[in-house]
A and B are shown apart, each in its own frame.
Chain A
Amino acid sequence: MSFDSFSEFLSMGGHGLYVWLSYALGLMLILINLVGPLRAGKRLQAQLTRRLLREKNR
């Protein structure tokens, strides 16, 4: 461990804002790239399946 206490860890030697802001952005942009395609895929599959069923029942 390079920190003695949790509050020291949070303050990052006075650079806490910069460090935590960076990591928050990193987490956000990574999640966008996973949740986005996941939801798009679910939506697409539901849409295509609906269309196929409609054609089948006609």
Chain B
Amino acid sequence: MSEPRSLSSASMIRLVAAREISARLRDKNFIISSVVILVLLIGTLALQVALDSGGETTRVGVVGEAGDLRPALTAQGEALGVDVTVTRHADEAAARRAVEDGDVDGAVLAAGEAPRLLVEDESGGSLQAVVQGAVAQLALAEQLAAAGITDLDVPEVEVTALDPDADQEGQRVVAAIIGAGLLYGLLILFGQFIAQGVVEEKASRVVELLLATMKPWQLLAGKILGLGVLGLAQIVVVAVVGVAGAIAFDVVDIPGELVGTAVSVVLWFVLAYAFYAAIFAVAASLVSRQEDLGTVLMPTTLVLVAAFVVGIQAAADPDGALARVTSLVPGLSPLVMPVRQAAGEVAAWEVGLAVVLMLVAVALIVRLGGRIYAGALLRTGGKVTMREALKAERG
């Protein structure tokens, strides 16, 4: 056996963090909550895909070469906003079979004088419109050609969009709201984990043994970092799965923007986590029983709920006074700023200021909270007030 060596603060913190991680990874609640989050996310994507399926492909069968009919069908589909795939069949019987088997939605028979559209039961509105349009166009072109007019000059309509980004912006906002919701959920979840961990150590009195080997701030830092690594891993996994899924299922048109929003949500998570984890840990250190946790965590939880509500509101009114102010307030900013960034124009200085204010707040909380935590840890029994804890720490 090798001789014990002295431990630096960093290795002490690493030991605590490693224990937190391994304890959590074996905790059923943690595993279940992780799975639930992923299932929810994939469910949301699937729902989105289902809702988007208005632009479903229409499959049309044609017989033989069909000449100009195929390009005409495709062009008509484009004009009507319907994806059209055209399948060729050798003869009418083959086309009929394809319709019966559901391989195609409908088949156009005997193009020319008396075209017929063959369908299974009834033709969908878009299918009939596409075929009707294509046939009409072809007939018109033929008759014009017969009349000797070949070079018809039809003026093309020029489209000027007043808000070309509206659709993309909508997608960004949805992504940001989902991100804020995720942030909110994970903060509550990991805040609870931290709080329960602190109380578990206090309730089981193991904290006395721990503090005989390390300083309270090392214990606090190790717990926050250990769970933070897990939280970060979880939000990164969710972000990657979400973004990859959205791109793969073609839910979004602008992968780049989506990635940007996801990255900003992840970065805000880091700041928000440091802030709330410290507060939750310090609050939890004031009580000695899991049953008493609810009361001490309630105020902070309410702040989180308020931040989430304001964040949702910011999506509708990103430049309103409420959104502007709250996107700078530490604690609220992580849930409001990403939504504002996605929904509208935010000056770089505003983001910078929000981050700096948040960092200052985190530093203050860790400093003051660390002292409360140190003073409260060894006082078991009823609820310790913050004043008592600070006094005990000094004593």
**A pairs with B:** no
Query: Which A residues have a C-beta under 8 Å from some C-beta of B?
Result: none
Query: Which B residues have a C-beta under 8 Å from some C-beta of A?
Result: none
